[in-house]
Structure 1
């Protein structure tokens, strides 16, 4: 009997000791929980979210070259993000150079009405990966395929046709010196002729595309390309 009483007393003592150890642990847990709640409350954002899908401009790196791209000018949704990209395709209203966004696709019912003069200048910015520079191509590659004869326009622009059977057949090369401009253009056929003009900026090549008919005011087009290039690079 005495042995059983002794065991019972020892058991109660162990239980009291165990409860005595739990009290400070529980107290510390309560303090820690309160501290976490206080920090969360202080750091929780209290401002209203900006009701805008995209920022006005995106800092985009193409070929390790930084460009500030108007969000609404990006033609493909998958390219509407900041950071490094291999290529970005843009479009701008001409002559205002406002961000034009993606062109609308015509349905079969509106196909006839959709045949309208193009009022946009398209621009692709792509990493060149040390390929042949556009100005070097003009000096060393194009002359191999051009006709010998050239036509000098009254507006200061020279036209030389590419020979048939060459990689650039059915195209013409336009060049001017003041301001400097070079454009390779397809000829008008079932669809209006289009021109492309290229330039290299550090690690990226800029390719502008516009209707051939705009060459009637080629100085305005050259100025527009210069302004777009300056706006996209921003202050340096």
Structure 2
């Protein structure tokens, strides 16, 4: 009985080994086939290096803008897609993009006096706040002096009263070409002007030196050109 049992055990072991061989062979063939397919499908080219695009499509307040990459002043804003605010700068009067400086790429706006040769533009979502043209018609007049100074070139100036939220500033307005600019007065630092306009869900805020108002028509035309360039085809 012992010999018969041992013989049966050896036969069973050989049978199990015989069954494992085809299974192992099939697994090996399958693994080889997968490896072959992966090798054939694996890309043989080197991926191109990322190149910073010349312009970035950004959406501010649901409004699409096409901004020059190197014009973006703050590093974290230098990407495409939806954004709450984008800060830009351009050379004036050429409106070319400034060359990178040692301050470029920082995560915060430059806390320095704006260069005299640059115009700054901020794109920001307005979230249904009061439109700039309505503010100029209904809010500013409450705080203005009654007297107005009419310039020979068609630009009207009215001073804001002392003790108002805009104390120390003047309002410049013209109908043709259209211009509304709120400007601080020259003091320890040169006065600066702010002019706003709304496009769909975004407000554009332009900032430039007050001294440029000596050629205000050229400044108004530059803001129109920048607005058209930033919108692009739409």
Alignment match, 2:120: 122
CA shift in 2, pair 1:130/1:232, >3 Å: same
Q: What runs of 5+ residues in structure 2 fail to find an aligned partner?
A: 104-111
Which residues of 2 match residues 1-236 of structure 1 at below 5 A? Answer: 1-40=3-42, 43-46=43-46, 48-49=48-49, 52=51, 54-100=52-98, 118-236=116-234
Q: Deviations over 1:107-149 (max 9, x none)?
A: xxxxxxx989611000000000000000000000000000011
Tell me the CA shift for residue 88 of structure 1. 0.4
Query: Does structure 2 retain, via aligned residues, the 8 Å contact 1:196–1:208?
Result: yes
CA shift in 2, pair 1:92/1:115, >3 Å: closer
Distance 2:177 2:113 in 1: 32
Distance 2:48 2:56 in 1: 22
Tell me the CA shift for residue 49 of structure 1. 2.7
Tell me the CA shift for residue 104 of structure 1. 5.6
Tell me the CA shift for residue 68 of structure 1. 0.5
CA shift in 2, pair 1:176/1:115, >3 Å: closer
CA shift in 2, pair 1:103/1:196, >3 Å: farther
Residue aligned with 2:170, SS: strand
Distance 1:32 1:115 in 2: 64
Alignment match, 2:109: none
CA shift in 2, pair 1:47/1:4, >3 Å: closer
Query: Does structure 2 retain, via aligned residues, the 8 Å contact 1:123–1:207?
Result: yes
Residue aligned with 1:192, SS: coil
Q: What runs of 5+ residues in structure 1 fail to find an aligned partner?
A: 106-113
Per the normalisation by structure 1, the TM-score is 0.90
CA shift in 2, pair 1:213/1:103, >3 Å: farther
* Structure 1 vs Structure 2 CA RMSD: 1.8
